[in-house]
């Protein structure tokens, strides 16, 4: 494999930590910087602040030798040949991305540069951010010859971020100089050459030595636009199939049959055509809003994205109405709620539809038994334990004595629940499924009244219409 580089990753959040671990995994020496002393201490002590498959094993393998965690940004920049900015870009009140953290890091980098550095945008940022980073660096004393600014957007899905990084369908680099492009090729060469996939400890996935990922070189603006356009398009697919699901509800049609028929079209594809309670997380809501803001700044009204946001917001309200319809009255009812993260496989509750739906239930006077395999500790900061809110240790404890069970995140272990035991634990055999985890006829045959999204609701013992 290629000669290893020293890489500084600024920010140890989801993107930063996964990227740092994966850069170490493919052979580079990585310095991960964060100004949160407690988090740095946790990482140095062997702790993991996020739930992500393969991450604990990788950090354990590389914590001594290939990766270190520090609060010393100045020292990290001095040592590094490439500096990846992976700090947060939260949504501002105006709807655009708050770039204050990026600004602060760029200012600090400028004051620490002592030789040529490649500064890489890894955070999700709007088009033209590359130019602003360049201006900040120059305004704070860095010479034009001392750096290049590169855009290298991430396309990581929470829960499968490590696999997505190491087995990408493409690697996008936005560069304006061949010097910077050479460094970026060197960084990703273990993947693009296929060499990584022959290693005995390689994380399994879709790529192999015979089928390595392509590296796509484009302008920095095009790379920035690619990231926002990708997330906006995927969010649009989710909102589209949810809008179709609502029509299916009205027409008595099974949305999964429709989605399968649509997804078989190779121009469309089946991914992100799962009806449910809407998208959430740290990316889609923020990136759709930011992309729409960018369009407005460029003099265009991106009304399609406004409708994507509207459908997503309305989807949670429509599902809440399903709950009310299934139970008639909500005050005083105790409900078993399975799933608090915005999706299965992660502990991220940011913009989680599940959290919003639970908050609606609490306002109606419901009591809830909450269970999530990973997200309960984070959820306690928003849904405080008390007379209405109980956190429990497993699915069956949550179901015990509940008037109904609600499935709000698509954890695989939920789909494999013992349905006979679940029915026995529930006070009433009612399942309201926001993720379409189960077959309606199976649920009806097991004695449940079953309500899902975009599919006919079935009472116990009733077959679905065909």
- d(Cα 376, Cα 317) in Å, to the nearest integer? 23
CA dist 336 to 312, 368, 436, Å? 24, 6, 17
CB 163 within 8 A of CB 203: yes
Tally Cβ neighbours within 10 Å of residue 259.
22
pLDDT at position 103 is: 87
The token pair that represents 356 in the structure block: 């919003």
- d(Cα 305, Cα 293) in Å, to the nearest integer? 10
pLDDT at position 63 is: 87
* Residue 164 DSSP label: H
**Element containing residue 9 per DSSP (H, E):** strand 6-10
- d(Cα 184, Cα 28) in Å, to the nearest integer? 12
In the block, residue with structure tokens 């899902």: 452
With the C-alpha atoms ordered 422, 425, 430, 434, is the resulting torsion angle positive or negative? negative
| Helix orientation angle between 353-363 and 303-327, rounded to the nearest 10 degrees | 50
CA dist 82 to 33, 67, 408, Å? 13, 15, 41
Q: 379 phi and psi, to 5 degrees? A: -65, -30
Q: Any idea where the domains of the chain sit in the sequence?
A: 6-218, 254-466
Contacts (Cβ under 8 Å, ≥6 apart) of 206: 167, 169
Q: 196 phi and psi, to 5 degrees? A: -60, -35
- d(Cα 262, Cα 274) in Å, to the nearest integer? 11
Fold of the domain spanning 254-466: Rossmann fold (3.40.50)
Question: pLDDT of the chain along its 466 residues, tens only?
Answer: 568 999 999 999 999 999 999 999 999 999 999 999 999 999 999 999 999 999 999 999 998 889 999 999 999 999 999 999 998 776 777 666 677 888 888 999 999 998 999 999 987 776 778 888 999 999 999 899 999 999 999 999 988 999 999 999 999 999 999 999 999 999 999 999 999 999 999 999 999 999 999 999 999 999 999 998 999 999 999 999 999 999 999 999 999 999 999 999 999 999 999 999 999 988 888 889 888 888 888 899 899 999 999 999 999 999 999 999 999 899 999 999 999 999 999 999 999 999 999 999 999 999 999 999 999 999 999 999 999 999 999 999 999 999 999 999 999 999 999 999 999 999 999 999 999 999 999 999 999 999 999 999 888 766 766 6
Q: Is 409 left (phi over 0), alpha (psi -120 to 50) or beta?
A: beta
Three-state SS at 389: strand
Is there a shared CATH topology between the 6-218 domain and the 254-466 domain? yes
pLDDT at position 462 is: 66
With the C-alpha atoms ordered 94, 99, 103, 105, is the resulting torsion angle positive or negative? positive
Q: Which residues are catalytic?
A: 283
Please name which of 34, 28, 161, 139 lies closest in space to residue 86, comparing C-alpha atoms.
34
Per CATH, the homologous superfamily of domain 6-218 is: NAD(P)-binding Rossmann-like Domain (3.40.50.720)
With the C-alpha atoms ordered 174, 175, 181, 184, is the resulting torsion angle positive or negative? negative
Beta strands in 292-365 (DSSP E): 334-338
CB 76 within 8 A of CB 70: yes
CB 133 within 8 A of CB 87: no
DSSP state string for 430-447: EEEESS--S-HHHHHHTT
CB 402 within 8 A of CB 430: no
């Amino acid at each position: 494999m290629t000669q290893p580089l020293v890489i500084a990753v600024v920010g140890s959040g989801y993107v930063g930590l996964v990227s740092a671990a994966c850069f170490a995994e493919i052979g580079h020496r990585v310095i991960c910087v964060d100004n949160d002393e407690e988090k740095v201490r946790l990482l140095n002590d062997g702790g993991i602040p996020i739930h992500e498959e393969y991450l604990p094993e990788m950090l354990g393998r590389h914590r001594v030798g290939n990766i270190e965690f520090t609060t010393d940004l100045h020292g990290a920049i001095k040592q590094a040949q490439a500096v990846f900015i992976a700090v947060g870009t939260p949504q501002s009140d105006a709807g655009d991305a708050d770039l204050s953290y990026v600004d602060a890091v760029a200012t600090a980098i400028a004051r620490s540069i002592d030789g040529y550095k490649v500064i890489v945008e890894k955070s999700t940022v709007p088009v033209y951010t590359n130019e602003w980073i360049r201006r900040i660096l120059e305004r704070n004393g860095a010479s034009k010859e001392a750096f290049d600014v590169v855009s290298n957007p991430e396309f990581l899905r929470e829960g499968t971020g490590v696999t997505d990084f190491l087995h990408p369908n493409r690697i996008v680099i936005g560069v304006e100089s061949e010097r910077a492009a050479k460094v970026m090729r060197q960084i990703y060469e273990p993947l693009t050459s296929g060499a990584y996939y022959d290693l005995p400890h390689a994380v399994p996935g879709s790529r192999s030595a015979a089928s390595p990922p392509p590296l796509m070189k484009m302008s920095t603006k095009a790379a920035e636009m690619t990231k926002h356009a990708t997330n906006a398009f995927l969010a649009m697919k989710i909102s589209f199939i949810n809008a179709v699901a609502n029509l299916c509800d009205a027409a008595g049609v099974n949305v999964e049959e429709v989605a399968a028929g649509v997804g078989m079209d190779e121009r469309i594809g089946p991914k992100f055509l799962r009806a449910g309670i809407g998208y959430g997380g740290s990316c889609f809501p923020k990136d759709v809003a930011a992309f729409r803001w960018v369009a407005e700044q460029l003099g265009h009204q991106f009304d399609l994205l406004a409708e994507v946001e509207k459908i997503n917001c309305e989807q949670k309200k429509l599902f809440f109405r399903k709950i009310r319809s299934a139970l008639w009255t909500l005050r005083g009812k105790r409900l078993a709620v399975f799933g608090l993260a915005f999706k299965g496989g992660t502990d991220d509750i940011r913009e989680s539809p599940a959290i919003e739906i639970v908050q609606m239930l609490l306002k109606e006077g419901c009591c809830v038994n909450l269970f999530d395999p990973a997200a309960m500790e984070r959820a306690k900061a928003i849904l405080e334990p008390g007379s209405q809110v109980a956190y429990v240790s497993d699915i069956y404890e949550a179901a015990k004595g509940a008037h109904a069970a609600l499935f709000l995140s698509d954890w695989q272990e939920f789909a494999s629940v013992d349905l006979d035991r679940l029915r026995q634990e529930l006070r009433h055999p009612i399942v309201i499924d926001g993720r379409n985890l189960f077959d309606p006829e199976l649920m009806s045959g097991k004695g449940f009244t079953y309500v899902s999204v975009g599919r006919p609701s079935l009472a116990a013992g009733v077959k679905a219409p065909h």
